[in-house]
Amino acid sequence: MNSKNSKVLILGGGIAGITAALALSRLNISVNLIEKSSALGGMVRYFCCKATESCQQCGACLLNDSLQALAKEPIVGVHLKTEVTNIKMDAKEFLYYFSGPEGAGEGRAAALLLATGFNPFRAEDKPQYRYGTLPNVLTGLDLEKQLRETGSIRRPSNHILPKSIAFIQCVGSRDLHLNHTFCSQVCCGYALRMANLIKYRNPQTEITIFYMDIQTFGKDFSLFMEQTRKQIRFIRAIPGEIQNGENDQVLLTFQNDDGMPSQKKAFDLAVLSVGIMPGLDHLFLSNRLGLSLNPDGFLSTGQGRLIPPEGIFLAGTVQGPKSIARSVAQAYRATEEVIAYLKLRSVS
């Protein structure tokens, strides 16, 4: 059985975990970073650059920068395809057991930083939008991946550029039927930025956003909206369903707020702006570590938001929806708390 000891154990190698690992190693604090999947980068590695004539401030490029820096850090032990099978407190330290490509092992750490991230909302759980059944219904994440790989969007049914695209916001978020009483915070940002990007690359594409409320994101938001409204159509309505139209078009039924009875409108492509849902590891972690879940199902340190419990720190979307910018800030915050904690520990 191999053993891995470090000052800090980080679970999760997404943008928050990587940022924290780098921030700790810059201060010569040893880190073990455990990641379940076969690559670092978490969800951000699927996201595209959304720059048009200039950067739209989505922050996706920050990941590549951090990955490059992390590769040069000798005191960060990165363990891919590795899972923590058990974790507990032992002699004021965290004792954990893991299994990875080189077999099982155990390790110790003085502090634990949880950055296990989120799960995107499963679009199939809103069957009225027929994701997975109709070819030309995609999720925001599908769109990110396509734009990242090829730089353009094509209709899955015939591989040509769509002439009209509808974005449906709040899919799975702010949804009382699903008992999701929270806003995912990132969907307005990614949808509007991708809409601008598509419009920049193919100006003839007509884009409509179906929404409840547009949330503020990024710097200079008023200027951003002023520009965006010039080229994107906004309809304040969340469509009730999507049907199959002619030529594989998608037919959206919605109740506009102009007083008309429900309308139908056809588009070449529909994009479901799926939100941020609690990660799959939340129950395991909350059980083993005695952490509480907040009413939205995300991890919470349980003591209000100011004093984390002894030695456990949270970074990024593990504790609720967050943009890339906020996940990075959060990772800095958690790292600062780790340092203050280690300092206090060494004194006492």
Which residues of this chain interact with other proteins, rule CB under 8 A?
A: 23, 26-27, 47-49, 51, 53-55, 57-65, 67-68, 148-151, 174, 176, 181-183, 185, 188, 212-223, 225, 236, 257-259, 294-296, 304-306, 320-321, 325, 328-330, 332-333, 335-337, 339-340, 343
Cβ 104 to other proteins, closest distance in Å?
31
* C-beta closer to other proteins: residue 249 or 300: 300
Cβ 327 to other proteins, closest distance in Å?
10
* C-beta closer to other proteins: residue 2 or 181: 181
Main-chain dihedrals φ then ψ at residue 181, nearest 5 degrees: -90, 50
CB atoms within 10 A of CB 100: 18
Scored b (16 or more CB within 10 A) or e, 308-330 reads beebbbbbbbbbbbbbbbbbbbb
* C-beta closer to other proteins: residue 20 or 112: 20
* C-beta closer to other proteins: residue 15 or 252: 15
251 in Cβ contact with 89 (< 8 Å): no
Q: What's the one-letter identity of residue 303?
A: Q
CA distance 27 to 45: 26
* C-beta closer to other proteins: residue 151 or 309: 151
Cβ 216 to other proteins, closest distance in Å?
5
Distances (CA, A) of 159 to 45, 242, 269: 24, 21, 11
Cβ 132 to other proteins, closest distance in Å?
26
Cβ 186 to other proteins, closest distance in Å?
8
Of 120, 137, 122, 147, the residue nearest 276 (C-alpha):
120
